[in-house]
Amino acid sequence: MAQPEEGRGATPAMAQTGIKELRRDLADARDEQIVQIVSLVDAMAVRGSADALLDALRPRLMVLRPPRPATLGRLLFQPLDPVILLPQRWRRDSLGVPRTALGPLGAQFSQSVGAAAELSRAIQGQSLTDRAVVVGVAVPLWRHGAAFFATSDMPEDWTKLTGLAGADYVTIARSISVLLGEAFEVEAISQHVSLGNQVPIAQIKACIGRVADAALSLPPGTGARAVGMLAVILLARLPPSVELIGAISDAVSARNDRGAIQASEQAIDFALDAIESDMKFVGDVSEVAAEQLRVAMLLDALETPGPTLRPSLKPRAEKLRRQADTACRARFETDLVERIVRPAEALGPDTTDEQVQSLEHLARDLRRLETTGRRLGGAEHYERCLRKAMESLTAPSGDASCLVDRARLVEILLGSDRAMALVGLSYPMK
Amino acid sequence: MPNTSSANSKLLKFQPNTPRSFLERGVAAPFTTALLSGARLRRLTRIAGSLNDREVKGEPLQGFATLENGRPGIEVVVPNPSGARGVYVMLWSDVGALCRPTMHDVAMCEHLVARTNPMLPLTPLMVRKAARDAALRGLAGRLAAQAARTAVEQEALQAVATRRALFAALLKQTEAPGTSPPAHLLSEAELEARGKAALEMIAQRHGRKVQDITGHFAAMAEVLVDIGFGEAKGSARLPGVLSAMAMLRNELLPLGKVSKGESFIEASGASALQIATAADAAISMAVKPLAMIDLRLRSIETLLDEMMTEPRLIQDLVEQPDWIADGWARICDIWTLAVGQGSHAQALAEIHALVPVLPDELEGWLGLAAGSTAEINSRNAPVGTVWRAEVSNQDRVARNEHLRAMAR
C-alpha cells in the first residue's frame, strides 16, 4: 500500500479531467451560481466525484454558508467544525481533522452503529440551520459517536479513500471520540453565552479537565492534541476574551502536562493562522463586521498584560491588528460613500420600500463594522467619515418626499438627536 | 447608555413590580429604543409608587400631575434590565439623560403628551393610536408604516362590519319573528333604515330622546370595534390577540416539559412553562368580561336603556379585556419572530421578564379571591432570568421596528 507523504495528508486521487475543468470554471462563478451548484450536489442520491467539486468551493462556502440539508455525517461532525481542515492545510501535527477523513468515518459509523438508521431518518429532509429540528437528534448522535470512535477499528479502505496513513486513523478517531463526548457541554456553554451570560469559567475548566483525563488513556500525543483541539473549538464557538483564554490556560496548567500546555498554546497559533489565512473584507458587511469583532477580541485578549500574554505573539498580533484596522477603515469609507450616501442622494418619489430597507440594513451593518473598527484602531477616521456623510444626508437639496427615509439613515448612522430636526421633532437630550 | 450611577440615579426610581391597579401598572408601549424595550407608560400622579414630587407643580389634575413647564407628566416604567423582579420608573422628559430615544418613540410620546386629554388616564387604546401615528409617519421604517396603514384600513372595515352586525342583532331582537327579508339579506341602506326605525321604537318605548338612543348605539358600535360582534368577531383585533396568546401557550407548554439533557434550551423550560401558565391565566380572565358583554348584548334594547344612566357601561366592560391582554401582543410577536430566526432561548428569557403582572384591581373586576393575583404573579415571576444577550442597541432597535411592522 502506498504511504502518503510523511507529515502531510494527501487528497484522494481525482482522475476525471472533466471535474478538473469544472473546478477551474467554478473559480470565477458568481455567489448565486455557487449556491445553486451546492444545492444540486446536495440533491444527488449518489454524489461520487461531485463531492470533489465542493472541495474546490469550500473556502467560498465558508463565507456564503448556503443552507445544507441535514445528513447524519454533517450533524455528527458539526461540533468539530472549527478544527476541520481542507486537506491541503492539514498537517499531521496540526490541531485539526482533514475533511477527507469525514466521509469514510461517517460511513463507518452509519454501517456499524445500530441507532444510526433511525437517527438518519429523523433528520431526513431537514436543514442543518433548523436547530429546533436537529437538536433532538444531535445529542444522542454525539453520544453514540463518542462511544463508537473510542474503540473503532480502521476500515480496510481508509488509506485508499482518504489518502491518510493507517496510524492517522487511531489519532483522528480517538480525538473525535473525546471531543464528541464533550459536544453537548460545549453546545450548552455556547448557548448560555449567546444569551448574554458571562463565560462560565468553572464549566470550561471542568470540560477541559475531563478531556485531559480522557486523554490519559489515548496513545502518546493524541491526548494532548485532543486538548488543543477542544481549545480551538472553544475559541471559535465563544467570544475569544481574556477570560476564556485565561480559563483554558489555567485548566491545562493545573494538569501539569507539558504536551497539553503546548497544545493549548498551539490553539492560539491555530486561531491566528485562521485569521491570517481567512481575513476577509469582501462579501457581506455584516459578516465582515462579525468576523472582525472576533479578531479584535482575540487580539485585545492576546495583548492584555497578564498570564495570557506571550511575548512571542506580540509582533504577530500587532501586525494583524494593523492589517485589520486598515482594511476596516477602507471598507467602511467605501461602503458609506458608495453604497449609502450616493444612493441616499438619489432617493426620490420612485424609490421602492425594498430599496430603502436595503439602505437601512446596510447602514446598520456599517455601524457594526464601525464599532469593531474603533476597537481595532481608534475613532477619528470613522467620525470624520460620518461627519461628511451627515452633511450630504441633511443637505436641503434632497427630495422632500424621502425626507423621513434620509432622517432614518441619519438616525441609524449618527443617532436620533441629529435626525429629529429633519422631521420637525425635538427632544431635550440631557 | 451613559453612566447612570450618580446624577442619573436621581431620575430613576426602582420599585417592586406590584401595582394595585392597571393604571399604576401602565400601558405597554411599543418602544423601539433599545433601553426602553418592553417599557410601559402612565400618567404622572401623586399616588404612592409614582416617581416623586420633584418636578410636580400645583395640585394634581383629576389625580394626574403636570410638570414645572405645565405639560402633562408621563412616566416610563422600564422592566428591570437584569430580567429579575422590579421595575425602574422615570419621567419621559428625563429619558434623554439615560439614552437617546428613537424618533418613533419621541413622536409617540409627544402625541400622548400633546394630543390626548390630560384629565384622562392613558389607556391601551390611546397608546396604540399614538404609536400608530408615529408609525404612519414612517419613523419606524417603511414596513411599519405599511402595517399601520393596513391596520387603519382594517379598523375602518371592522367598524362598518361591527355596526352592521349590531343592527342585524337589533332587528333580530326587536322585530317580530318572520319579518322579511331577514337582516342578513338586506342592503347596507335597508339595514341602516330598518335599524334606525328600531332605535326610534326603543326610544319611544322607554320614553327617551331618539338622538340619545341613537348616540348610545353609535358609541356602542365604536367601542365594540376592538372586540368585534357577531360576524365581525373573527376579524377583530382583541380576539386575534387572544388567539395568538393561545397559540403561544400551546407552543410553550411542550418546551416546559423538556427534561434535562434532552435539549439545549432545557434551562428555558421553566420559563416556558411559566409564560404558558401566565398566558393561560390571562386568556381565561380576559374571556370573562367578553362573555359578560355577549350576555348584555342579548338585549341591546335593555343595554341602550341602561346606558342612559351609565354611559360608560359597555366601554368599561370592553376596556377590561384590553387591559388584561395589554402587553401580550408584543410577547407573542417576539416569540413568532424568534421561532422564525431559531432564537427560542433568547426570546424565552426576554419575554419571561415582560409577562404582565396582574394588579390587585383585577380581583374586584372578576370577583376573584383576595390575594389570588399576587399568588399568580409570584408563580410566574422571573427569578434572576438574566437577559443580557449580545445584541447591540442598533440590532435591538431594528428588532423592535420589525415588531412594529407586525403590529395588529
The 10s digit of each residue's pLDDT in A52-106 is 666 666 666 666 666 677 788 989 999 999 999 988 888 888 899 999 999 999 9
C-alpha distance from residue A287 to each of A65, A100, A320, A414, B47 (Å): 11, 27, 18, 22, 51
Average pLDDT for B283-287 = 96
pLDDT for the residue A45: 61
3-state SS assignment for residue B181: coil
Q: Is residue B228 part of a domain?
A: yes
* A97-98/A84-85 β-pairing: parallel
- Do A155 and A235 share a domain, yes or no? yes
Give the 3-state secondary structure of chain A: CCCCCCCECCCCCCCCHHHHHHHHHHCCCCHHHHHHHHHHHHHCCCCCCHHHHHHHHHHHHHHHCCCCECCHHHHHHHHHHHHEECHHHCECCCCCEEHHHHHHHHHHHHHHCCCHHHHHHHCCCCECCCHHHHHHHHHHHHHHHHHHHHHCCCCCCHHHHHCCCHHHHHHHHHHHHHHHHCHHHHHHHHHHHHCCCCCCHHHHHHHHHHHHHHHCCCCCCHHHHHHHHHHHHHHHHCCCCHHHHHHHHHHHHHHCCHHHHHHHHHHHHHHHHHHHHHCCCCCCHHHHHHHHHHHHHHHHHHHCCCCCCCHHHHHHHHHHHHHHHHHHHHHHHHHHHHHHHHHHHCCCCCCCHHHHHHHHHHHHHHHHHHHHHHHHHCCHHHHHHHHHHHHHHCCCCCCHHHHHHHHHHHHHHHCHHHHHHHHCCCCCCC
What angle do helix axes A353-377 and A285-303 make, rounded to 10 degrees? 10
Determine, yes or no, domain membership for B70. Answer: yes
Q: Are A281 and A395 contained in the same domain?
A: no
Assigned domain for A1 exists: no
Q: B116 and B153 share a domain? A: no
Q: How many CB atoms lie within 10 A of CB A394?
A: 17
Instruction: Give the pLDDT score at A186.
Output: 93
Q: Which of A81-90, A215-224, B300-309 has the lowest mean pLDDT?
A: A215-224
Q: Are A137 and A285 found together in one domain? A: yes
Q: Residue B9: pLDDT above 70?
A: no
pLDDT band at B388 (very low <50, low <70, confident <90, very high): very low
**Chain B, nearest residue to A191 by Cα:** B264
Q: Are residues A261 and A284 in the same domain?
A: yes
In a domain, A46, yes or no: no
> Which one of B79, B109, B140 terminates a domain?
B140
pLDDT at B14 > cutoff 70: yes
Residue A131 has pLDDT above 70, yes or no: no
CA distance B65 to chain A (A): 20
Q: Are residues A126 and A148 in the same domain?
A: yes
pLDDT at B183: 76
Q: Which helix (DSSP H) or strand (DSSP E) does residue B28 occupy?
A: strand B27-28
B381 located within any domain: no
DSSP state, residue B260 = T
- Residue pointed to by grid coordinates 338585549: B299
CA distances to A191, B353, B356 from B20, in Å: 38, 19, 13
In a domain, residue A242? The reply is yes
Residue A81 lies in a domain: yes
Is residue B359 situated within a structural domain?
A: no
Chain B contact present for A127, CB below 8 A: no
CA dist., res. B400 & res. B393, Å (int) = 10
Whether the predicted pLDDT of A4 surpasses 50: no
Domain boundary among A298, A323, A348: A323
pLDDT at B4 over 50: no
Those residues with Cβ within 8 angstroms of residue B213's Cβ, 6 or more apart along the chain or in another chain: B199, B200, B202, B203, B206, B304, B308
Of B103, B390, B392, the CB nearest to A407: B103
Cβ of residue A166 closer than 8 Å to a chain B Cβ: no
Mean pLDDT of B112-137: 95
Q: Are residues A305 and A418 in the same domain?
A: no
Residue B358 lies inside a defined structural domain of this protein: no
Does residue A148 carry a pLDDT above 60?
A: yes
Q: B45 and B183, same structural domain?
A: no
Q: How far is CA B175 from CA A75, B181, B231, B297, B300, in A?
A: 69, 11, 20, 16, 12
Tens of pLDDT, residues A407-427:
999 999 999 999 999 999 999
My answer on whether A164 and A192 are in the same domain is yes
Answer yes or no: do B139 and A423 touch at CB < 8 A: yes
The per-residue pLDDT for B212 is 95
Using an 8 Å CB-CB cutoff, list chain B residues near A416.
100-103, 106
**Are B173 and B218 within one domain?**
yes
B103 to chain A: which residues are within 8 Å by CB? 407-408, 411, 416, 419-420, 423, 425
Within a domain: residue B345? no
- Do A276 and A357 lie in one domain? The reply is no
pLDDT at A6: 39
Least confident of A143-147, A261-265, A334-338, B47-51: B47-51
Which residues in chain B have their CB less than 8 angstroms from residue A191's CB? 264-265, 267, 345
Instruction: Give the range of the structural domain holding residue A343, as residue numbers without chain letter.
Output: 332-423
Residues B153 and B117 in one domain: no
Q: Which of A147, A135, A140 is nearest to A190 (CA)?
A: A135
Are B163 and B307 found together in one domain? yes
- Pair (B133, B242) in one structural domain: no
Q: Is the pLDDT of residue A9 over 60?
A: no
Do B155 and B126 reside in the same domain of the chain? no
- Local confidence band at B269 (pLDDT 50, 70, 90 cut-offs): confident
Higher-confidence position of A11 and A171: A171
Q: Is the pLDDT of residue B383 over 70?
A: no
pLDDT at B227 over 80: yes
Would you call B263 and A191 a contact, using CB atoms and an 8 Å cutoff?
no
**Inside any domain, residue B338:** no
Residue A129 Cα, gap to closest chain B Cα (Å): 8
Contacts of B395 in chain A (CB under 8 A): 364
In a domain, B237, yes or no: yes
Question: Is there a single domain that holds both residue B136 and residue B156?
Answer: no
Give contacts of B339 with chain A, Cβ < 8 Å: 132
Indicate the pLDDT class of residue B228, thresholds 50, 70 and 90.
very high
Residue-wise pLDDT for B135-193, tens only, equals 999 999 999 999 999 999 999 999 999 999 999 999 999 988 877 787 778 898 999 99
| Domain contains A49 | no
**Mean pLDDT for chain A overall:** 85
Q: How many domains does chain B have?
A: 2
Asked if A293 and A373 sit in the same domain, the reply is: no
B102 shares a domain with B181:
no
Percent of all residues in chain B with a pLDDT value above 70, rounded to a whole number: 87
The residue-averaged pLDDT of A154-182 equals 94
- Please list every residue in chain A whose beta carbon sits closer than 8 Å to the beta carbon of residue B264: 131, 135, 187-188, 191
CA distance A130 to chain B (A): 7
Q: How many domains does chain A contain in total?
A: 2
Question: In this structure, are A200 and A281 located in the same domain?
Answer: yes
Chain B residues with CB within 8 Å of chain A CB: 93-94, 96-97, 100-103, 106-107, 110, 137-139, 141-143, 146, 261-265, 267, 339, 342, 344-346, 349, 386-392, 394-395, 398
Of the residues B271, B301, B330, the one at which a domain ends: B330
Who has greater pLDDT, A277 or B328? B328
Q: Residue B3: is its pLDDT beyond 50?
A: no
> A411 vs B103: CB contact, 8 Å cut-off?
yes
**B101·A427 Cβ contact <8 A:** yes
> What digits encode the pLDDT tens for the residues B42-72?
998 864 444 444 434 444 445 677 787 778 8
* Cβ–Cβ gap B267/A192 under 8 Å: yes
Final residue of a structural domain among A273, A291, A323: A323
Q: Please indicate if any CB of chain B lies within 8 Å of the CB of A418.
A: no
Q: Are residues B237 and B320 both part of a single domain?
A: yes
Give the count of beta carbons closer than 10 Å to the beta carbon of residue B282.
27
Q: Does one domain contain both B131 and B154?
A: no
- Answer yes or no: is pLDDT of A238 > 60: yes
Between B261 and A164, the higher pLDDT residue: A164
User: Does any CB of chain B come closer than 8 Å to the CB of residue A129?
Assistant: yes
Domain extent, residue B218, equals 144-330
User: Within this chain, do residues A109 and A256 fall inside the same structural domain, yes or no?
Assistant: yes
Tell me the pLDDT tens digit for each residue of A281-328: 777 898 889 889 999 999 998 888 876 667 888 888 999 999 999 999
Q: Indicate the range of A364-378, B127-141, B248-262 predicted with least confidence.
A: B248-262
Residues A341, A314, single domain; the answer is no
What is the percent of chain A with per-residue pLDDT over 70, rounded to a whole number?
Answer: 83
What's the pLDDT tens digit per position in B330-365?
999 999 998 877 667 778 888 988 999 999 999 999
Which grid cell sits at A147?
462511544
Same domain, B169 and B304: yes
**pLDDT for residue A254:** 85
Show which of B304, B330, B356 is a domain's final residue.
B330
